[in-house]
Amino acid sequence: MQRRMDYAPVVTGNLRIAHYTDEHKTFDGIVIPTHRRVYRRNPDGTADKSVAVTTPAIDTIRLNLSRKANLMTTHQIRTLTWDTYVAPALPIASTDLPPGHNQATWSPISATLISGERDAVLVDPLMTTEQGQTLADWVAASGKNLTTVYVTHGHGDHWFGLAVIRERFPNVRAVATRGVVEYMRRQASPQSLASFWNPLLPGQIPQGLAVADPLDGSSFELEGYELVPVEVGHTDTDNTTVLHVPAIGLVVAGDVAYNDVHVYLAESDRVKRQEWIRALDTIESLHPEAVVAGHKRAGRADDPSIVEETRQYIRDVDRIAETAQTAREMYDEVLAVYPDRVNPGALWLSAKALKG
C-alpha cells in the first residue's frame, strides 16, 4: 500500500501555522489525508487553539493513473469556520441593585456564526431590537447566505432577536429542540412579556416575537457537515442544549458554560445544580477544542477550560450556601472568591433566590 502525504495547503501572508491531519481515506490502495486542522502557531511553536479554526476537509478525490504509474490527485476542499459576536452588558430598569452598585445590568450575550464556503448558521440571535439589528449587520458583513438559526435554550435573552434577524433574512429557518420550543412559547407569552421582560427593558423587546420550529431529526447540516444538538437537561434553566460541530471540534454551549461572567443560579436548587454539573461532564465527553459560552467576557478565549471553571463556580456556591445565613452573606462570600467576574447582579439574583 502506498501512502501519499506530500500535499499541503497554501497559506498567504507571514502567519506561522500548525497542521494536524487526523482523518484518512483509501483510494485504490493509496492512503490520502482528508481532514486537516489548521491553527496559528505560538512563538514557542505550539498550536494556539484559542483562535478560530480552519478545517479543510477533502470530500472528492479523483485519481488518474498513467501508464508510467505517475499519481495525480485533484480534490475539492471545503471549510467550516466560526466567529462570535458579543453584545455588551446592558443597563436594565431594576431597583433591586446588587450591593455596592448603583445600576443593574444584563450580562453580555454571545451569538456564534458557523460558516461554510457559501452558507452559514447563526446560534442564539440575542435579545433586544438594537442587538438584533447590530447582529444582522455583522452577519451580512460576513458575505454568507444565512440559512438557519439555532436556539440553544428558551431564555428570551438568547432568542428574542430572532424577529429582527428574520426581517433582514426573510428566508432563514429557525430551529430548536422540542423542549426548547415549548419554553420559548412560554417566554413569548403576553403574561411573561408584561410581567418581566417589558418592565425590565422598556421599548427594547422586538414586536412580533418569532418562535423557532421543532427540529426534525437529531441533527442538521451546513454544506454537508453535521451540526448536532445535544440535550443536557437543567442548567441555568430547564430543557437546555448545546450545539456540537464535530468537524471543527466546536461546542456552542449556550448557558451551560459561562466565560468569566457570574453564573445565573436563581432557577436551581442543589439537586438541579448536580444535573448542571453532569451537563458540563457531557460537554467534556465531546472533547471539544473550543467552547463558546452564552455569557462571556468579550475578547476572552473560547477555551474548553471554561467548562471546569463553571463547574468549580457551582461547587463553590454549593459550599458557601451551606453555611451562609443570608443572601448578603452568600453574595459577599462568593464575590470574595470571584471578585472580577462580569455582572455581580447575576450573583445577587442567585443569592436572593437561594437564601431568600
Give 199-250 pLDDT, tens digit per residue: 999 999 999 999 999 999 999 999 999 999 999 999 999 999 999 999 999 9
Give the residue-averaged pLDDT of 252-266: 98
pTM of the model: 0.80
The domains located in the chain, with CATH, are: 2-78 (no CATH), 81-355 (3.60.15.10)
Question: 3-state DSSP call for residue 283?
Answer: helix
* Model confidence pLDDT, tens digit, residues 99-132: 999 999 999 999 999 999 999 999 999 999 999 9
From the number of C-beta atoms within 10 Å of its C-beta (0-12, 13-18, 19+), residue 173 rates as middle
Q: Residue 214, Cα to own-chain centre: how many angstroms? A: 19
Output Rg (C-alpha) for the chain, integer angstroms: 23
| Residue 60 near residue 76, CB atoms below 8 Å | yes
Q: How confident is the model at residue 356 (pLDDT cuts 50, 70, 90)?
A: confident
Tell whether the model's pLDDT for residue 251 goes beyond 80. yes
To the nearest whole percent, how much of the chain has pLDDT over 90? Answer: 77
Task: In whole angstroms, give the CA distance from residue 139 to residue 5.
Answer: 37
